[in-house]
Amino acid sequence: MERRIERNSWKRNAHDALFARLEVPFYSVTWRLDVTDAVAYAKRTGVSFYATMMWATMKALNGIEAFRYELRGDDVYLLDHRNPSYTYPWDDELFGICGVEWIDGESPAGFAARCRTAEAQNASPIPTAEADEAGHDVYLSSMPWLDYTHIAQEFPLDSTDSTPRILWGRFTTDGDGRQTLSYTVQVNHRLIDGIHLARLNEGLCGAIHALEEF
């Protein structure tokens, strides 16, 4: 479900107009995220750490209205939810791209099982342009080989591009036994401000801590 926003009553209208003047209104932020409970959950249940992180990310992101805005030409829509479109190992150091529907309230294990099924049914590693544009997606990926400090992600030179791009690196263990990793979010400033990234971080921490319940 979705609904079109009336621009005249939309509180972000002036801010949208400000950043719409830019050819590249996108920005990216990286921070350290404590994933100790996510690592423990993955070890305890056998659900992959990657699927666990995707579940936590989508749960947190879909709880924030700003991340569910979508620009279409001059119109703005509020989506009921976004779906994950993610990379996964394909063959001979190549990656595939797979997408699944987000189901609110689903367990991490249930989500991971549906991801495995979707990957097994993928006939091609890369979706067609039509398929890629059909869903209201969040692009998710990881770089599990590196604990990076900075990364620049690819994006089209289209100021209406509304797709959040999220990536995380290899987790490391500190002297207190806590696991942390670099977590990067790239968004369109027409729709999302720094306070929304802070709320995403809060939601992520809450979702990761809630894994103790599963």
Separation between Cα atoms, residue 150 and residue 167, nearest integer Å? 11
| Class in CATH terms, 27-62+83-185+196-213 | alpha beta
Residue in this structure with the two tokens 């929304």, named with its chain if needed: 196
CA-nearest of 142, 198, 200 to 168 is 142
Q: Dump pLDDT digits (tens) for 79-133.
A: 999 999 999 999 889 999 999 999 999 999 999 999 999 999 998 898 876 656 6
3-class DSSP state of 157: coil
pLDDT one-digit tens code per residue, 24-43:
999 999 999 999 999 999 99
Domain ranges for the chain: 27-62+83-185+196-213
The Cα–Cα gap between 60 and 125 comes to 27
